[in-house]
Structure 1
């Protein structure tokens, strides 16, 4: 609500006729439209902030599946190895890693920011073996790892681990327990820069070309029902593009799928 007061010396005072009334009406409507636009812009800005926060929360919730997978595997093995000192040491290392990851996710939500973890140099074979052992071994079929030529990458290790886990988890979800999921690592040295090529293959239900084109990389679109967030493939594609790599997909319905992740190698 607003009020405008007008006053002039008596010598300049005008008679309030129909022309001035129409003119003041137009000015009033114009000012009112600016006020409404300001309110709408403010509401739109707040909605955009909520949308960004909800989007980030969805990715954080998606990453919580990593922590849950590690806890599930830890609990399933605890009954068999509770008296093994090496298992106890590994359990504490796993708990420390989960605590660090949870702290990072909490910081993201509190500070309303994306994870800005620094890059680190690591072995692709060692990281994949750790992902399979600590996160994917609890579900059948247990993936097999084949290293043709190993290499090192220099990027966010936790993000790489998360992306690989969700791609492997998707392959396991699409494959019957009696099926096969395999991961192959090789180097493509016929291009500049050299690339690591990670193939994740399964003989599961496969996907149609229409599904790949229209739904696979669409965020928040999932075939897992309430158990899925629908951002695993989307996050993997974004990860590949952010690091000047590629994520390729080949699939045939009823025969299986192959996801190929290509990333530049770490420079010496």
Structure 2
């Protein structure tokens, strides 16, 4: 196809005018060159781009734009090819000073020369380059995210809502099962982890309920049903643009080794508590046994049957005391397999009886007050361990020559939920705890007793109370004393 405007007769000026108006109305710049590369026509857009400061009509293209006249420039090569060979060419090229623009040029042959259609491609080119750079950045970010996802130290997985199939999962999640991710994709949640209550957690999230955050999960997996394990899990909904839930994402951190270490520490602390109480218990048993020995000696050598009977009755009383101490000691360290109902008074008195010898030696005055309160359902051996730890700390903090130990139990109500609770209080008028230390007392291995303390007592006590869904609070003033309060819900135990 060839085009020629100059071929129009001079008397057809109206047609020339119409065509000029047509070219001026186009968004592209239009330029006509005769066979000597003289500019014979340019539309308004071409004037705006190429001649903002001068008149170039009737001037050689190479004179008007000398940078294009370089033999190896794309302008020189393509314009000559179109002019000499009659071939349409299209190219994109940069023109420097004074234009400093990128052009998208389309050169068409005509009877009298060539017609150039071109547009300013600078912004478009910059946009494309920016898009390419943005795409590269996004791809790099996606690669980094994918790398983090695959190598994250916690298990990550995505589930659909159709029976909760694995859609994708990372290496750590697959490692829980000892498999590769591709061996798990497509299998269902309960197929891989038949843990009681797990599906109900997913149903909660899938039906628009609150997300599950840092939930303690325990059980066995299908690939190793004999290995009981522990996790902290979080489940969140995945929504589409319309806000409709389309899936569930899961994050799982296995804490089995941490749990086993905690359990070992607790057992270690329990054994340490037994050792600390052994001397007190031995003293408590030794005193009545010495009395029994003396009373039996007196009864055997007495010539009066009434006196002998009286001695024997006294010996029987002392033996009952020994039996009571033994019973309380065994009960104190009994690990119940199921929770028991026990009153606050019984918990306090059983621990106090074990500390009877230490109370006498320190000349401590014990003040007890137990208001009417129903028994609480708990693992009583564990709660006795907590009370024992608090009572032992209180006696250690008391001044020489005696002090006051206050033991209280009462019924109260949770200020947030209104649920009934049993409140136990152990208070003393000892040395108190400095403010800077008070913030650290529940940390594991933190102790102010030097080599005598393990630093585990209060930490484990806090763990026990937390497992009973209770709360432990402490108030203390240096030089005035300390008050520990334990609040236990009546229906808190679930294990």
Q: Which bracket does the TM-score occupy, shorter chain normalised?
A: 0.5 to 0.7
Q: Distance between the aligned counterparts of 2:481 and 2:367, measured in 1?
A: 16
**Corresponding residue number in structure 2 for 1:158:** 381
Contact 1:152/1:266 (8 A) holds in 2: no
Q: Where do 1:55-134 residues align within 5 Å?
A: 55-64=265-274, 65-80=276-291, 83-92=314-323, 94-95=325-326, 98=329, 117-134=337-354
Q: CA RMSD in A?
A: 3.0
Instruction: Give 1:195 shift.
Output: 1.0
Contact 1:146/1:183 (8 A) holds in 2: yes
Instruction: Give 1:250 shift.
Output: 0.5
Contact 1:188/1:197 (8 A) holds in 2: yes
Please state whether the residue corresponding to 1:172 is helix, strand or coil. helix
Q: Distance between the aligned counterparts of 2:467 and 2:384, measured in 1?
A: 15
Instruction: Give 1:76 shift.
Output: 3.7
Q: Distance between the aligned counterparts of 2:421 and 2:453, measured in 1?
A: 31
**Corresponding residue number in structure 2 for 1:205:** 431
Structure with larger Rg: 2
* Number of residue equivalences: 209
Instruction: Give 1:50 shift.
Output: 9.6
**Corresponding residue number in structure 2 for 1:171:** 394
**Corresponding residue number in structure 1 for 2:78:** none
Task: Describe the superposition over 1:100-158 as per-residue Cα deviations: whole angstroms up to 9, x where unpaired.
Answer: 877x7xxxxxxxxxx56321111210221121122244232143211133331111111
Instruction: Give 1:54 shift.
Output: 5.6
TM-score (norm 1): 0.67
Q: 1:233 to 1:126 in 2, by over 3 A?
A: same
Task: Describe the superposition over 1:37-70 as per-residue Cα deviations: whole angstroms up to 9, x where unpaired.
Answer: xxxxxxxxxx989956862452232331344433
Instruction: Give 1:171 shift.
Output: 0.6
Q: Distance between the aligned counterparts of 1:96 and 1:136, measured in 2?
A: 14
Instruction: Give 1:161 shift.
Output: 1.3
Greater RCO (Cα-Cα under 8 Å, separation 6 or more)? 1
Q: 1:175 to 1:101 in 2, by over 3 A?
A: closer
Unaligned runs of 5+ in 2: 1-256, 294-313
Contact 1:136/1:169 (8 A) holds in 2: no
**Corresponding residue number in structure 1 for 2:411:** 187
TM-score (norm 2): 0.38
Q: Where do 1:35-50 residues align within 5 Å?
A: none
- Greater per-residue helix proportion: 1
**Corresponding residue number in structure 1 for 2:481:** 256
Q: 1:99 to 1:189 in 2, by over 3 A?
A: closer
Q: 1:50 to 1:202 in 2, by over 3 A?
A: closer
**Corresponding residue number in structure 2 for 1:42:** none
Does 85-94 or 178-187 show the bigger shift?
A: 85-94
